[in-house]
Structure 1
Amino acid sequence: MDGELFPERVAWRPGPVITGHVVRLMEGYSREVRVGQPVLVAVLGTAAVVRVVLALFASMLRAGAGAGARRKWKELRKGPEFLVTPLRLRDGSGVLCEMEIHGHLPQSALEPADHVQVTVRSQKDAGLAPRVERIVNLTTGQLLTPRTPTLWSHLGPALLLQAAVGLLLIGALVAWLALAG
């Protein structure tokens, strides 16, 4: 039979562990991490408190406030992108299984015909193949754990530090008002 005219059916096995041989790593594409608006509003709101305090302090010194390179709301709301690479492997019973690797792996980490043990988890969207959490390459003895960017890595340490200081300032102001009143 012609493989292009009659492609072999691909199964999405729920796992949690699938053992088999790598058939093919398909072309990767990017997917966006969703950013929740309430979390973003809370972080940006508390960070704004610090910016206001710094702007007031700078205006008192007449030094001018150096705003730095601030990212826009739309850019922060968009979320980080990560690489999705579909992986096909043939399990011990001969079934062709497809799953998704989220994040980057070293280029030589998986080769066709490598014997692997893959830990997968179903994704929230039932229309997507299971997500690979861990790969043990039994041929090379490597343990591979793909990592995707998170909301916190997307926002960055500077913005999160500003938000933490802003939260402390708000807490101190509330405590001072409670003691004074």
Structure 2
Amino acid sequence: MPVYEYHPDELARVSVVRRATGLTLSEVEEQRRAAQDREDRALAAPQEPRKPTELDIAVCQRVEWARIEQFMREQRMAVYSPSKDPRVARREERRAQRMATEAGCSEQADAGLPVEVLRYRVYRVTARQATAPAGEEALVRHIFAASAGAAVEHAQRLFDRHSSTCQDGEYCINFVEQVLPEPGEFF
């Protein structure tokens, strides 16, 4: 059983906390409004069949921006500082406990073999039908994977299930983008 350093929802929240660090209340409000717009767009778009999805990420981030905004109002903070936010510390404790529990289960299941802690990211993989006319809607999947290459391989297997691989002339992957954590963030 693999042990993940962060799950997708944890990555979304940590990403928001890191971006919020040093922002004023008005800047946090602006980010919350932008996150609400992203959630609205994701809600209006065709829904993806697997988790994590664009909607899952958008909801998680909007909720975290709203929580930070509320916290700053209650604490009358001029600038957000995660070190003063007890929820951030509690989440980190829960994440450490989750990892320890998963590591213990993994050791038992694998007869004492060393535990491998995986640092996965979330990638947005976009594919289009090879025969689709210009402007045709793309197929988007969000993949939790260790690298862009691994995300592409997983996406191709997903497309294979629908007999729609690039080799069959149906779908070709044309864009892969890391969305969580944001590129350049702590990975």
**Greater Rg, structure 1 or structure 2?**
1
More helix by share: 2
Structure showing greater relative contact order (alpha-carbon pairs closer than 8 Å, 6 or more residues apart) = 1
Q: TM-score, normalised by structure 2?
A: 0.23
More strand by share: 1
